[in-house]
Homo-oligomer: A and B are copies of this chain.
Amino acid sequence: MVEEFKSSFYVSSVLAEDTRGKSVALCGSFGEGDKKAVIVTEKQPIDQKELTSFLSSSSHPELKLNFKNDIYSQYEVQAPGGLGSLKMMVVYPATEKHVMKYTDQEVFVIKETPEDYARKVKPYIESQALSLQWVDNILKGISEADRLIYNDEDHVSGFVILPDLKWNSSDLNSLYLIAIVRQAGLYSVRDLRKEHVPLLRDIQQKGKAAAEAHYGVSGNQLRFYIHYHPSYYHFHVHITHVKYDAPGCQVGRSILLDDVIENLEIFDDEYYCRKTLTLTLRKHDPLFKILSSN
């Protein structure tokens, strides 16, 4: 033990907080001293032995059930020792598909040439493109109509903007919106041509205005980008707070909307038909097998 902690520490301000990483940075002083100290406190990673032993100990009356829906439930518990307070999501009974979904998979970097796209990927996408009922429901106003923060009904130049389901709709530092176009037949960035630049610019302008109006977040704190490959093949743009490291916003997973606009406008009308795209894919993604084969 070192000198300083022989006194109590008095917090004068919270400098930073990382809820994902479970850390907090504090400024304050020891005892009556007038010198400042900065303390960065971070929870330790979960000790697997400790967790395994906690879960295997007979029954758990201390678990608090937050909700249960079908096979999914969520609990909170104050666990002993180093574990501290925990959140637990339980899938029971779980199928092999669930086990696979939560299993850490190898990830690979792979290149998709324009020829790969035309010959192997596009046919695959077209064979999949049926099951987007939920997108149709949003565009037709059947579902989530009260969640739209922007809606232009033109069937070519129109689009909707709404909060992404992953966002809790309250923490502005992790703001996450989605813009979904109305134009049919745009699967992904591969289908964009120079003629789509006005639509893309409009998404950017209206997205900034809507985020400012609804949440008071200004346009220069927003990141606009596209996933390639996207998780569904109906063209959409991700809009997140620049402070939020959203899943999949890394290079090799995402492309900045500003870059898309400028590449089409200045460098090549058909830039994204001519470009080899470097992607990251999980080992069990069907596209990984498709792109690795001849």
Which residues of chain A from 263 to 283 have a CB within 8 Å of any chain B CB? 263, 266-268, 271, 274-276, 278, 280
Say whether A2 faces chain B, with CB atoms less than 8 Å apart: yes
Protomer copies: 2
Chain B residues near A152: list those with CB within 8 A: none
Which residues of chain A from 41 to 73 have a CB within 8 Å of any chain B CB? 41-48, 51-52, 55-61, 63, 65, 68, 73
Selecting from A22-30, A143-151, A176-184, the interface stretch reads A22-30
CB of B55 within 8 A of CB of A11, answer: yes
- Chain A's interface size range is 35 or more
Selecting from A76-84, A119-127, A153-161, A186-194, the interface stretch reads A76-84
A218 to B63, CA, bound (A): 43
Among B37, B44, B65, the residue within 8 A (CB) of A86 is B44
Among residues of B, the one whose C-beta sits closest to the C-beta of A100 is: B15
Say whether A200 faces chain B, with CB atoms less than 8 Å apart: no
Say whether A128 faces chain B, with CB atoms less than 8 Å apart: no
CB of B7 within 8 A of CB of A59, answer: yes
A159 to B45, CA, bound (A): 36
Selecting from A130-138, A162-170, A253-261, the interface stretch reads A253-261
A221 to B108, CA, bound (A): 5
Say whether A286 faces chain B, with CB atoms less than 8 Å apart: no
CB of A92 within 8 A of CB of B35, answer: yes
Of A14, A48, A82, which is in contact with the most chain B CB atoms at under 10 Å from its CB?
A82
CB of B43 within 8 A of CB of A109, answer: no
Instruction: Enumerate the 4 nearest inter-chain pairs by beta-carbon distance, A residue then B residue, closest first.
Output: A84-B84, A82-B85, A16-B104, A35-B93
